[in-house]
Amino acid sequence: MSRCRKLSIVALTGCLLLTSAAGLHAQSDAETALENARVAYQADQFEEARDQAKKASQTAARNPDVWLMLGKAHFQLGELDEALVAWRNLLKLAPNHEYGRRMVSALEGQVSDIDLRIRLASVNVSEGFVQTARADLQSLRTRSPLSLEQRRKVLMLLAEVAVLEVKGTEALAILNELTTRDAATADTLPVRLLTARAQLVTGGALTTFGLAELTKIVEEAGDTPDAQLAKLELLLHRVSRGEDGVTELAAWIEENGTLTASRRARLGLRDSVQRYLAASAAAPAPKADAELNEHDKSALTAAGHAFKAFVDVADQTALATALTTHLEKRYVAVDAFAAARSGLVLIDQMQLLDAVSAVVAGSRRRIEVAEATSEYMQIKQDVQEAVAGPEVLAKWIADHPGHPMELDARQTLVTAYLDVTRRQPAPAADAELSASDKLAIAAVGAIKSTGEVSKLVQVLSQHFRKHYFDRGAHAAAIAGVEALVPLEVPARRAPLTDVVAGMQRDIATLEYT
């Protein structure tokens, strides 16, 4: 092969490597920007969310989640045309995306300005932005000329907002206004259903009426969406009271995932997980050999259903973070590492997105570090009390490279080796350095921090003086100090050579006298 051809291949290989590296870097930047956008969106920082999502779209244009988030941010800022463009891009990549289709349909609808505002308020309600929806609906209710049908929609949405905000009395008052204006609406299934929900959140004696009405709707409405919504409310009520209903709730989501109320069903699953975790946190602290308690097992079962139901990576990530944080706080804090690990194993068996798996992997690493730290602290105590020898600590260091406690462990190891020598009989005049002192020197050499090396060099130098030189083992002391010289950076070696020179002068003085 000619030299020119070899150079061409090398150049081509270099270009490919650079291109690959650039691609990976761009992908990483896009993932970071998208995650920043999600965080900003959850914090109601919609401008930042929009800007971060735009940044992500520049290098991850094939990721549907990017366009989903960009559209949501534009929408919350009132930038409806831009939101529509983003969601159209979403549907190009994921044609069956339920939320994207609903939003494009709403924004493309040929409706009046008031009808569009009502539709958008409805979307805000279904997505949980009830305060934004309330403000716009109140404005429509008091300032806009509304048709009878438009007013009915506005009042129904306002009652829905009040129910979601657990303001049952307000919701019932709004529904009373609605039925007073139009008596025919009182017997319609949507009004009956919303009235029953308002009674449930009001509580007290009205709870019984609400449950009875929901049950009646289920029996009368057959296999209609209204009947399914009534079933959902009954399930959510059961789950909110801590009764078993998680599996049925998950089944409801699987069968009715296209209904707008499915978001509340998903939140119901999430809330059930949180209730189980709260019950676990309130239970007595576990012992080190504990297993997962029944509350945590129930939380993980509910989480398994929730992970299947959640379509937004942010929801999955938040749930995984809540679970792993709880496992670490409850079990790792008391050295119940086996229980914490068993919880992570159960989470790993669920249907997780890659970003969520990363949350679990991070928790696993923290648990491993915490368990190794606990092991180290016990070994350190045993070595200091001479229950165990330095070799046990040396093995721990070898088994846990890069551990946060590595430097402390190496410092402890040096001291442990010196303690072994100190416990030995006084050395003879012709003695050599002990085996443990040689190991101490090697242990100092393995430390990367030059500042810590200098501190330990001083400790060893004083040890050699006291244990060997002052007892007449001059050659061993000098050999020990000389072995320390290469461990120091050149600028710090002069004091050691001075120590050696001082020892040699002391020997000469002793011989002269």
pLDDT 10s digits, 260-317: 788 888 888 899 999 999 999 999 999 999 999 999 999 999 999 888 887 678 888 9
Average pLDDT over residues 404-415: 96
Alpha helices in 222-353 (DSSP H): 225-240, 246-256, 262-282, 294-309, 313-330, 337-348
- pTM (2 d.p.): 0.69
Rounded-to-integer distance, Cα 347 and Cα 366, Å: 16
Q: Is the model's pLDDT at 400 over the cut of 90?
A: yes
| Half-sphere exposure of residue 321: CA atoms within 13 angstroms, side-chain side | 7
Q: E strands within 304-378?
A: none
Q: What percentage of the chain exceeds 70 in pLDDT?
A: 94
Average pLDDT over residues 148-158: 94
Rounded-to-integer distance, Cα 295 and Cα 284, Å: 12
For the stretch 240-264, pLDDT in tens is 888 888 889 989 988 887 777 888 8
Please report where in the chains the tokens 């983003």 appear, as a residue: 86
Those residues whose C-beta lies under 8 Å from the C-beta of residue 213, and which sit 6 or more positions away, are 192, 195, 196, 199
User: Could you tell me if 500 and 478 are in contact, meaning their C-beta atoms sit under 8 angstroms apart?
Assistant: yes
Structure tokens, 398: 């070898």
Rounded-to-integer distance, Cα 63 and Cα 97, Å: 13
Those residues whose C-beta lies under 8 Å from the C-beta of residue 205, and which sit 6 or more positions away, are none
Compare 163 and 123 and report the one with higher pLDDT.
Answer: 163
Sign of CA dihedral 106, 111, 116, 119: negative
Amino acid at 399: D
Amino acid at 69: M
- Which of 329, 358, 366, 363 minimizes the C-alpha distance to 344? 363
pLDDT at residue 420, rounded to an integer:
96
User: Could you tell me if 50 and 70 are in contact, meaning their C-beta atoms sit under 8 angstroms apart?
Assistant: yes
pLDDT at residue 6, rounded to an integer:
43
Rounded-to-integer distance, Cα 220 and Cα 94, Å: 37
Rounded-to-integer distance, Cα 288 and Cα 337, Å: 7
Q: Is the model's pLDDT at 23 over the cut of 60?
A: no
Where does residue 304 rank: exposed (0-12), middle (13-18), buried (19+ CB within 10 A)?
A: buried
pLDDT at residue 365, rounded to an integer:
96
Amino acid at 32: T
Rounded-to-integer distance, Cα 58 and Cα 182, Å: 52
Chain center to CA of 149: 46
